[in-house]
A and B are shown apart, each in its own frame.
Chain A
Amino acid sequence: MDMNRRQFFKACAAGLGGSSLALLGFSPAPVLAETRSFKLARATETRNTCPYCSVGCGIIMYSLGDKAKNAHSEIIHIEGDPDHPVNRGTLCPKGAGLLDFVHSPNRLKYPEYRAPGSNEWKRISWDEAFDRVAKLLKADRDANFIRQNQDGLTVNRWLSTGMLAASASSNESGYVTHKFARSLGMLVFDNQARV
C-alpha cells in the first residue's frame, strides 16, 4: 500500500480499534485483534538542527507531554528531517545518537562549586553562583583594568580575565555573549574558530 509520510502518521493515529498494521494494508486476521498503536503518533514534532558538525542537518525531535504548564515534556526520539534540502532525512552516527546526548547521564543539572584545594563539588543555588562570580569578575576588573598603556595612550582593556565562547551555542546566545565580554573590555576572548 503506497502512502507518503503524512498519510502514514494519519493512518497510525486513526486508531479506531484497528491496529496500525491493518491500516497499512497488512491484514492477517489475528493482527486485526491487536490494539497497539504507534508511539510516535501522539508525540509532538519539533524542528531542530543537529548540534555537531557544520552540515547543519535538519532533525525532527519527538516529545511527549501536552505543553500544559505542569506537563514535563520529554524527547523520546530524534530522526532526520526529510524536508531538509541538505540531509534529506538522513543522519550520520553522531546525529543518530542525539537522544543519548539529550539524556546523557553526564548532563549537568545544578550549579556547583569547588573550593581551593578541595576534591569535591558542592551544590549551590543560581543566586549564589551569579553573586559570587559577578563579585570575582568585578574585583578583578577593578584591580586590573588598563585605562592607559605605558605610553599614556587610552586603551581601555581588561587582560586578567578571559573567556571561551561556545561554537555550538546559537547566534542569539553568541551575540549577547559578545556584548557582555566586549563591554567589559575583554580581549582574551575566543571560540572554537580559533582552533
Chain B
Amino acid sequence: MTNHWVDIKNADIVLIMGGNAAEAHPCGFKWVTEAKAHNKARLVVVDPRFTRSAAMADYYAPIRVGTDIAFLGGVINYLLANDKIQHEYVKHYTNAAFLLTDAYSFSDGIFSGYNEAKRNYDNSSWGYQKDKQGFALVDETLQDPRCVLQVMKKHYSRYTPEMVSKICGTPKDVFLKVCEYIASTSGPDRTMTVMYALGWTQHSQGSQMIRTAAMMQLLLGNIGVPGGGMNALRGHSNIQGLTDLGLLSNLLPGYLSLPGDKEQSYEDYIKVRALKPLRPNQMSYWQNYPKFHVSLMKAWYGNAATKENNWAFEYLPKLDKGYDVLQAFELMGQGKINGYICQGFNPVGSFPDKAKIIRGLSKLKFLVVIDPLATETAEFWKNFGPYNDVDPTKIQTEVFRLPSTCFAEEDGSLTNSGRWLQWHYKGAEPPGDAKPDPEIIAGLFLRLRAAYAKDGGAFPDPVLNLTWAHKIPAAPAPDELAMEYNGKALADLADPKDPAKILVPAGQQLASFAFLRDDGTTSCGCWIYSGAWTQAGNQMARRDNSDPWGIGQTLNWAWAWPVNRRILYNRASSDPSGKPWNAKRKLVFWSGKAWGGSDVPDMRPDAAPNEDVGPFIMTAEGVAKLFVPSGMVDGPLPEHYEPFESPLTVNPMSPNNPKAFANPAARVFKGDMEAFGKPKDFPYAATTYRLTEHFHYWTKHCDLNAITQPQQFIEIGEELAKEKGVKDGDMVKIRSNRGEIQAVACVTKRIKVLDCGGTKVHTVGIPNHWGFTGVAKVGYLANMLTPFVGDANTQTPEYKAFIVTLEKA
C-alpha cells in the first residue's frame, strides 16, 4: 500500500475493485466502515460478483472477468474528456508534460517495437526527447501533440462508454455513474482511495490493470494524500516482508536485483541501476544503489567482500531469464529439475493446472516439505481417488516432510500490507519435535558448509564465506537476524562535512539507510528495513497507539519502511510552494525551513520548494509516470487485451488484429497455447476467489473454520442455472480444458449474465478452499481447472479469468 489501513478512514470515495476487502480483509474493511460513518465517504464496488463488499457499497457495478483495463481506460477517457483532473498536480507531479519522440507509435493493439516471433518489445522507441545534457524535454503548456498528456488523451479516446459497455458488459449508465463518483475527487478538497487485490494481479494483463488505476489516481491528484493512494491488499501475513526481502527468482533484498548474464562486470551491473536524474535537481534516489548493494554484500560475505573483488560480485548467480514458478514447473515437467524445497507453501493446491504440477513433482528425484501442517503437496504421491488420482508405485520421488513451528511458537516480525513491521512473541512450545524455520535452514546449511570445507565441490566460495555469526550456529536467533538486516557500522563513520565528528561508532546499529556507504564501512542486509532495529532497540516492538493528529498516523506503533514513513509520496500532499492542497487534509508541508507534519517527509527535509525537487523521489524523472518509457514489458500505456481463455473470439478493442487478442507480450510455453480452451467447448467465464471463513488451504485443517464452511460449492447465476436445469443444492460438474471438479451448486442472484456487445456471458464462481487433506469435507482442488499462463511482467498466473463448461452431475 502507498498508504495504510487506518488511513482509509480519511477517504471521501472508496473504490474496491479487483479485490473484496469485506470478505478477504474483514478487519481492515472496518476502516471503510469508519470512513462512511465519520467522513461521509461513499463506497463504490466494481466486481464480477455482488460480493459482501458490494453489499456494503453505496454503488455497485458488474464487470466481466479480465476487462478491468477497458473499464478504467474508460474512466481515464471520461476524466480527460470532461476535464476532471487536478491540473496543477498533474502538471507538476507527473510526466504529463514530457515529450515523446516521433518513433513511438501505437496501432491496432500493438505498440512500436514489437517482435512477433519472440513475443516481446524493443522499448527504445518509447523514450523521451532529450537535450544535450540527457535531460528529458517538457512542454509546460501540455498542448504539444507529442507530450504524454496529449498522447494519453488520444490513446484513451478509444475507450468510449459504448466500448466499455461492449467489452465489460457493464450497462453504460452504470459505468457513467461510477465515473461521476470517481470524478468527484478531482479537486484538492476530496480524495479517493483504491483498494485492490488479486482480482487485479492474477491476470495476464494484471500489472497493466494496476497501472491504469494508478494513472487514474494521479490524474485526480490522489497519491500522497491522506485517504488516497493505491492500496494493494496483500494475501498473506508476511507476503509483503518476503517481497521486500527479495525471495523471488530475480531479486535481492530491498528491491535490488541480480545481474544478468551480459552484466559481466560490476560497473556494467551498477550503471544501469544507479539511475541518473532525467530532470534537473531531482533526487532519483536509486542513484544510491551502490551504497545499498555494497552494504548488502558486506552483510552476507563480510571480509570476503572487498573493493578488490568488487564486493564478491562473482558470488551472485546471474540470470539468463526468470525462473518463476510457472517456468520452474515447466522445467520440472521436462525432467530438468531434480530437487525442490517447499517451505510453508502448497503448490499442489496453489499453482494452476494441478495435473501439470503433479506431473512435475513426480519427475523430481527429491522433494523436501517444511510446514506446520499436513499439506497436499507433501502427499502428492498418495492416491485420494478422484481428488488425487495417482499411482504411488509409479512415483519415484523421495519425499522428506519436516515439521516447522507456527506463528504462535516463535519470536519475529511480520510486515503487513501497510508496510508496518510488527514484532510478535512466542507463546508456547511447538508440538512434538517441530523446529523453527531458521533452525531447519541452519541444519541444512551447516552440513553443506562442513561438506564443502572437507570435500570441496562446485564453486564452494559463497557457501564457505557466507556470514553466519550466530551465538548458537544451529539456531540463528530472530534478534540477531533483525539486527543484521537493519545494518551497522563496520568502522567509525565520520561526518563527510566534518571528519573529526563521528556520526556512528564502529559496531553500532544504524538509524537508517541514510548512513549507508559504498566503501565497505557499512553492512546492511536489507536497506529499506534499516531503522527497524537501531541502537535504541527493536522499533518493531513499539506499542504506543496514540494518534496525535487524529488521522490515523500512529507513528509510534511498530515501525514502517521506509524510515517509519506511513504515507508514501507525502510531499505531494502540498502544492509546489509547499502549502497543503487542502488545509483540512494536511499531511506534510513546508514550514519555511523544513518539511514536516504528521508523517516522516518523503523528501529531503531541507529541500526548499523553489528547488523544484519532485515528490516521486525514486523515479529518475522525479515525477510519477503516466507513460512508462521502460519498466513494463507489454507497453508504456495499458491497453485492453482479452484473457487467454475468453468467452469472446475477438478483442473488441482491436477486432481486426488476432495478434492483439490476448497480451502480445505475455510468455506462453510451447504446447500451452494449444491447451487453452475455446468458447465453443467452454462457453462460460470462470473465476476463483476466497471466502470470508477460510484462508487458502490452511483453514480446512481448523475445526471452527471447517464447521462454518464445510463443503465445496460453486456459485452460478439464476439465468445459467435455469439454462442447465440446475437447482440450488444440486451437484454439478465443472470442466475446463485441463480438468474437472464436482461441487454443490449455489444458485444466486449475485452473479448476473452480462451482455457484451450482443454476446451473453455467464460467469461461474469457484471458491478455492477444499482439497484432499484437512478436517473439512474432502473436495477437489480448484486449480485443477485454471490455465498455465501468467502476467507479462510478473508471471502471476491468470487464476481470475478462464473458461469452463458446466452440467448437472
Contacts and interface: CB of A to CB of B under 8 A. Distances in A.
Interface of A: 44, 46-58, 61, 63, 65, 72-75, 78, 80, 83-88, 90-102, 104-119, 121, 126, 129-138, 140-142, 144-145, 147, 149, 151, 153-195
B694 interface: yes
A111 B402 contact: yes
B317 A110 contact: no
Contacts of A130: 443-444, 447
A164 B703 contact: no
Interface in B698-737: 698-699, 701-705, 708
B25 interface: yes
A51 B406 contact: yes
A192 B338 contact: no
A126 B433 contact: yes
Most interface-central of A54, A90, A92, A179 (chain B CB within 10 A): A54
A121 to B, nearest CB: 7
B243 interface: yes
Contacts, number: 487
Contact of B315 (A51, A104, A108, A156): A156
Given A86-B5, A101-B699, A130-B443, 19 more contacts: A53-B236, A54-B236, A54-B416, A93-B705, A97-B704, A100-B702, A104-B775, A136-B398, A141-B458, A145-B459, A147-B459, A161-B340, A166-B370, A171-B241, A171-B485, A188-B337, A189-B249, A191-B239, A195-B796
B566 to A, nearest CB: 11
Interface stretch (B389-397, B569-577, B590-598, B663-671): B389-397
Contacts of B432: 107-110
Contact of A121 (B401, B463, B799): B401
B336 A159 contact: yes
Interface string B203-231: 00000000000000000000000000000
Interface string B6-42: 1000000000000000001111101100000000000
Contacts of A74: 428
Contacts of B235: 53-54, 167, 192
Which 5 interchain pairs have the tightest Cβ spacing? A166-B344, A109-B432, A170-B412, A56-B416, A108-B403
B81 interface: no
Q: Which has the most chain A C-beta neighbours within 10 Å: B347, B381, B415, B437?
A: B437
* Of listed A147, A176, A181, residue having the most chain B CB within 10 A: A176
Contact of A182 (B317, B399, B702): B317
Interface string B674-706: 000000000000000000111100110111110
B436 A173 contact: yes
Contacts of B351: 195
A56 B418 CA distance: 9
Contact of B403 (A75, A110, A113): A110
Contacts of A80: 27
B239 A48 contact: no
A75 B537 CA distance: 28
Given A102-B428, A136-B365, A171 B373 contact: no
Contact of A160 (B252, B339, B400): B339
B633 to A, nearest CB: 16
25 contacts: A46-B425, A46-B427, A51-B237, A55-B27, A75-B428, A93-B708, A94-B695, A97-B705, A108-B374, A111-B403, A119-B392, A119-B393, A126-B433, A134-B447, A140-B365, A145-B459, A156-B316, A166-B437, A170-B424, A177-B247, A177-B437, A177-B441, A180-B444, A191-B248, A193-B239
B695 A52 contact: yes
Given A109-B432, A119-B392, A138-B448, A174 B247 contact: yes
Contacts of B410: 170, 173
Contacts of A118: 392
A92 B258 CA distance: 39
A106 B284 CA distance: 50
Given A182-B316, A195-B797, A55 B25 contact: yes
A107 B372 contact: yes
Interface string B258-269: 100110100000
A73 B554 contact: no
B582 interface: no
B457 interface: yes
Contacts of B694: 94
Contact of A168 (B407, B420, B444, B525): B407
A80 B27 CA distance: 10
Given A141-B457, A167-B237, A162 B26 contact: no
Contact of B400 (A53, A133, A191, A192): A133
A49 B415 CA distance: 10
A43 B795 CA distance: 47
Nearest to A119: B392
A47 to B, nearest CB: 6
B404 interface: yes
B623 interface: no
Interface stretch (B86-94, B117-125, B321-329): B321-329
Contacts of A132: 400
B427 A192 contact: no
Contacts of A56: 237, 414-418, 420, 422
Contacts of B383: 119
B702 A101 contact: yes
Nearest to B464: A183
Contacts of A186: 317
B463 A140 contact: no
B339 A100 contact: no
Contact of A171 (B238, B317, B398, B704): B238
Contact of A73 (B314, B428, B462, B557): B428
Interface stretch (B54-62, B475-483, B640-648): B475-483
Given A166-B345, A168-B237, A85 B425 contact: no
Nearest to A124: B400
B503 interface: no
Given A46-B425, A130-B447, A190 B699 contact: no
A69 to B, nearest CB: 11
A162 B661 CA distance: 34
Nearest to B455: A138
A68 to B, nearest CB: 13
Contacts of B370: 166
Nearest to A117: B393
B434 interface: yes
A91 B284 CA distance: 41
A91 B704 CA distance: 13
